[in-house]
Amino acid sequence: MNIYVYTIRRSLYVIPILLGVSMMIFFLFNFISGDPTSILLGPHATAVQMAELRQELGLDRAWYFQYWDIVKSAFTFDFGRSWTTKQQISSMLSSGAIPSMTVSIPAFIISTVLSISIALLISFFRGGWLDKTVVFVCVTMMSISSLAYILFSQWFFAFKLGWFEISGYENGFPDFVPYVLLPILIWVMMTIGPNVRFFRTVMLDEVYQDYVRTARSKGLSEYYILFKHVLKNAMIPIITYVVIQIPFLILGALLTESFFGIPGLGSMTLDAINGNDFPVIKAMTILTAVAYIIFSLITDVLYTVVDPRVRLK
Contacts of 168 (CB under 8 A, 6+ apart): 179, 260, 261
CA angle, 136 then 137 then 143, to 5° = 95
For residue 185, the tally of other CB atoms under 10 A from its CB is: 17
Considering only CA atoms, which of 187, 291, 184, 310 is closest in space to residue 237? 310
pLDDT at residue 114 in the model: 92
Over range 242-265, report the average pLDDT.
79
For residue 253, the tally of other CB atoms under 10 A from its CB is: 26
Q: Is the pLDDT reported for residue 1 higher than 70?
A: no
Q: Is the pLDDT reported for residue 20 higher than 90?
A: no
pLDDT at residue 143 in the model: 86
Domain residue extents for the chain = 3-76, 89-306
**Cis bond upstream, residue 174 (ω within 30):** yes
Over range 65-75, report the average pLDDT.
83
Q: Say which residue, 59 or 67, is predicted with more confidence.
A: 67
Question: Please, which contacts does 32-39 make with residues 24 or more away whose CB atoms are closer than 8 Å?
Answer: 33/278, 36/83, 36/276, 36/278, 39/276
Q: How far apart are the first and last CA of the chain?
A: 6
Given pLDDT bands bounded at 50, 70 and 90, which one contains residue 306?
Answer: low
Given pLDDT bands bounded at 50, 70 and 90, which one contains residue 9?
Answer: confident
pLDDT at residue 132 in the model: 86
Q: Say which residue, 2 or 219, is predicted with more confidence.
A: 219
CB hemisphere CA count around 39 (13 angstroms) = 16
Over range 154-182, report the average pLDDT.
86
Q: Say which residue, 280 or 57, is predicted with more confidence.
A: 280
For residue 161, the tally of other CB atoms under 10 A from its CB is: 9
pLDDT at residue 109 in the model: 92
By percentage, how much of the chain surpasses pLDDT 70? Answer: 93
The Cα 191–Cα 202 span in angstroms is: 17
For residue 236, the tally of other CB atoms under 10 A from its CB is: 16
Residue 88's beta-bridge partner residues? 81
Number of residues assigned to the chain:
313
pLDDT at residue 313 in the model: 62
Contacts of 246 (CB under 8 A, 6+ apart): 108, 291, 295
Over range 265-274, report the average pLDDT.
83
Sign, CA dihedral 155-159-164-165, equals: positive
pLDDT at residue 34 in the model: 64
The Cα 231–Cα 41 span in angstroms is: 57
Q: What pTM was computed for the model?
A: 0.80
Over range 228-237, report the average pLDDT.
79
CATH 1.10.3720.10 for the 89-306 domain, yes or no:
yes
Given pLDDT bands bounded at 50, 70 and 90, which one contains residue 252?
Answer: low
Q: One-letter amino acid identity for 114?
A: L
Given pLDDT bands bounded at 50, 70 and 90, which one contains residue 312?
Answer: low
CB 35 within 8 A of CB 53: no
pLDDT at residue 110 in the model: 93
Q: Say which residue, 166 or 2, is predicted with more confidence.
A: 166
pLDDT at residue 53 in the model: 77
Phi/psi for 88 (5° steps) reads: -65, 130
Mean of the per-residue pLDDT values of the chain: 81
Question: pLDDT for 79-130, tens place per residue?
Answer: 888 888 888 888 888 888 888 888 888 999 999 999 988 888 888 777 788 8
The Cα 215–Cα 207 span in angstroms is: 11
By percentage, how much of the chain surpasses pLDDT 90? Answer: 4
DSSP state of 249: G
From residue 274, give the alpha-carbon distance in Å to each of 56, 84, 108, 270. 21, 11, 27, 6
For residue 207, the tally of other CB atoms under 10 A from its CB is: 18
Q: Is the pLDDT reported for residue 236 higher than 70?
A: yes
E strand or H helix at 147, and its extent?
helix 146-153
